[in-house]
Chains A and B, each alone.
Chain A
Amino acid sequence: MLIKRRNFIQLGSLATGSMMVPDFLKAFEKPLSVPAGNKVVVVIQLSGGNDGLNTVIPLRNDLYYRQRPKLGIMKENALSITDDAGLHPSLTALRELHDSGSLGILSSVGYPNPDRSHFRSMDIWHSASSSREYLDTGWLGRYLDAQCKPGDRPTLAMEIDDVLSLALKGNQMKGLAFRDPKRLYGNSQEKYFKDLGVAHKITGEEAPVDYLYKTMAETLSSADYIFQQSKLHPTRQSYPATSLGQNLKTIASLIFSEINTKVYYVSLGSFDTHFAQEVQQKRLFTELNDAVKSFTDDLKANNRFDDVLLFTFSEFGRRVSQNASGGTDHGTANNMFFIGGGLKQKGLINELPDLSDLQDGDLKYKVDFRDVYATVLHKWLDADDAAIIGKKSNYLAFL
């Protein structure tokens, strides 16, 4: 290594440093081949508290129609999947997926002592904590901590967004957030930051400034790597021009590349339908439906449908009864969709919510969401779920 004599200014005390190439940069020198059948998870977060009862409609439940005289979706309008259950009219592609055995629906998912604040409940879902503890890390972030060895590429989990969610923040590792590989690359091309990175000497004392330089270097090299990968096999499928459509398109192109990513994360919202729910939910479900349709068609055409598990969640469901403004207020337990070619249970995985057994007008949860996470971590991502969730969970049978 060439060390030039430079004009340094020393401020305050002397920090001695040794020149070294950190492990995370070495990672980019290694060739990498993605094993066939690389299992991938795509999480779609429905932000704002999606109304689960108007998503999977209990078609033969009088209690439902009695509590929702205006807002209830009539049987003839719903897309029925069984005698008792129908999907929201906008979810046509999800019905097709159901009919071809690629959709699973888990009802009454939640946690004890539910919190009705968006932020707090989302915190709980992201961190996989109980409602009585506060964790600084997310379940996927801790998955990164558990999976990543020194020298691994830091692209194992990525969020298609400008801001990284708590879910993807670990103690040691964090996922990457970006909206568009090309823009990410463009933003990382500032020569000044590259020069700074080259000039900085890591002290090896775990000083915060070293952590910042390490993160900066990782970001710049990852940006490069992600952009190159996104150009390898860009999808030719057409996607809707919506934000979710474009985000799933980005994800598809990366899935078809040789990137090592196991988890992709996207959000859609806001499902906080206190007013005029019909219009708002319809608009968002149309966006969801059309984007998922393009995405699943794309995966099938490229023979990757069996390797991808897509699931949706929301921070809470909504109250059983409608409110006076054509909407619904914050509730508790909710349903989740699972989509993919590798499902072991299809259609309705468990019973629809029991509307005759409510807690202060809210659904009681039957399945702990941490059991869902544990199932995905253990059975799909082959990870140590107990270490990540912090307790032993009951695995579900859908995977």
Chain B
Amino acid sequence: MQELSKEKRQEIRKQSREDLKSLNLSWLDEMVQSDAQLREKMAFFWHGHFACRQINIFFQQNLLDIIRNNALGNFGDLLREVSKSASMLSFLNNQQNRKKSPNENFAREVMELFTLGRGNYSEKDIKEAARAFTGWGFNLAGEFVFRENFHDSGLKTVLGRTGNFEGDDILDILLESKQTARFISTKIYRFFVNEHADEKKIEWLADRFYNSQYDIKKLLSDIFTSVWFYEDKNIGAKIKSPVELLVGVRRILPMNFEQEEVQLIYQRLLGQVLFYPPNVAGWPGGKNWIDSSSLMYRLRLPRVLHDDDNFNVKPKDDDDVMMGQPDGRIKNKEQGMRNKEVGSKAGKMINVDIDWPAYIDQFSKEKKETLPVKMASVLFLKGTIDLDLLNKYAEKDSRENYIRSLTIAMMSMPEYQIS
């Protein structure tokens, strides 16, 4: 009986991992094709903020739903729903948080990573908050349940306030702290404006975010309508994350992958796999994306896609995903390729059909002299482009080939890694 259930469990886990890959690829497609670009962008931001490693596909799907539905809504609602999701409760061990044996993991991360940020609470606050979250759990269907038997109903003191708090009270207290508005505004500022936070501007944003009772749309509108958002120092101040880079390339150049799974290998190679954040702190971002090898893969990506070329490299194994399965045990394309090294049969693996006519069409009215400037303005926000150099690498036998080759050359510039 136990044997059977174990095998069954393994089968379910395996299926879950496969489904997570499909979810990954469909979300990527949504990011590329959606008309609601800002919503997907913010959902992607919250996906990193409420980072969760969770193998259960239903839980993950539910968390993604919560995040996408509330991406531009109210941060308080978002926080409450995420905190009550089976995904997060399970990932942060709150199912094991009981009166007789409190588990502080959930309370700690809610304060450190979701609301206040490090250094804005004491260890005592965490201990007391953990007591308030005792009894928060989920059932087999993934629904939130409050298990009163496990709840510690005694008095707790959190951030200077005392009461017979339950989990919801703690979230309210955290939202009442202006530090939460500051913490979230800082993170969003760094995501959209500049990796270097500007205290004054953030204070202004945080004030208004707090007074709006955490209206995310208003916060974004404050940012996008500010004069400083368009200042030179805030343009091109961010290194694109691997997912942003890939989605960006696909948005500019409509394309079909013969094997969509190569996009998963790409994510692993560059260190950002959707649904597999490194830990609950999310992806560190910025210069952390860049080292000698990752940069060269990023620079070579457009050429690889264009030529149906290959990287001829092998990403690191992820033991949490693969469970130490020896080669060939998991039979799917990605694993098959992994074992043979990516693209060892040249051209077979990354086989991409780029819809060039659709792309080239937008330049149909452009004169020859202004064409490169127009193209550059589509691809870059700013920078200086050495046209003599680029022209050396452009094909000049036809207008189409000129546009194609110049586009790939431009996309292969370090400038294209910046947004």
Interface residues of A (CB under 8 A from B): 6-13, 15, 47-49, 117-120, 123, 132, 134, 136, 161-166, 169, 174-179, 183, 187-188, 192-193, 195-196, 199-201, 207-209, 211-213, 215-216, 218-219, 222, 267, 269-276, 280, 324-325
Contact = CB atoms under 8 A, between A and B. Distances in A.
B232 interface: yes
A301 B413 CA distance: 47
B337 to A, nearest CB: 14
B290 A211 contact: yes
A280 B328 CA distance: 13
Interface residues of B, number: 67
B415 A209 contact: yes
Given A208-B236, A218-B292, A119 B320 contact: yes
Contacts of A179: 313
Output the residue of B284, B324, B382 with the most chain A CB within 10 A. Answer: B324
B236 A8 contact: no
Interface of B: 2-3, 6, 53, 108, 195, 232, 235-239, 269, 271, 276, 278-281, 284, 286-288, 290-296, 299, 312-320, 322-324, 326, 372-373, 376-377, 380-389, 392-393, 409, 412-415, 417-418
Nearest to B292: A219
Contact of A325 (B6, B195, B239, B317): B6
Contacts of B280: 134
Contacts of B278: 119, 123, 166
A8 B384 contact: yes
Given A162-B315, A164-B294, A208-B195, A15 B383 contact: yes
Contacts, number: 185
A280 B380 CA distance: 50
Nearest to B324: A272
B376 A163 contact: no
A196 B414 contact: yes
A175 B293 CA distance: 10
A9 B392 contact: no
B290 to A, nearest CB: 6
Given A9-B384, A219-B296, A208 B324 contact: no
Contact of A280 (B287, B316, B326, B372): B326
B138 to A, nearest CB: 19
Given A117-B53, A118-B319, 6 more contacts: A6-B389, A119-B276, A163-B313, A163-B316, A183-B312, A212-B239
Q: Report which residue of A9, A13, A275 has the largest number of chain B beta carbons within 10 angstroms of its beta carbon.
A: A9
Nearest to B415: A209
A101 to B, nearest CB: 34
A274 B415 CA distance: 46
Given A219-B292, A271-B324, A9 B376 contact: yes
A354 to B, nearest CB: 24
B288 A136 contact: yes
A212 B413 CA distance: 10
Contacts of B3: 324
A343 B357 CA distance: 66
A50 to B, nearest CB: 11
A230 B373 CA distance: 44
A49 B320 CA distance: 11
Nearest to A197: B414
B20 to A, nearest CB: 15
Contact of B314 (A12, A162, A325): A162
Nearest to A15: B384
B310 to A, nearest CB: 12
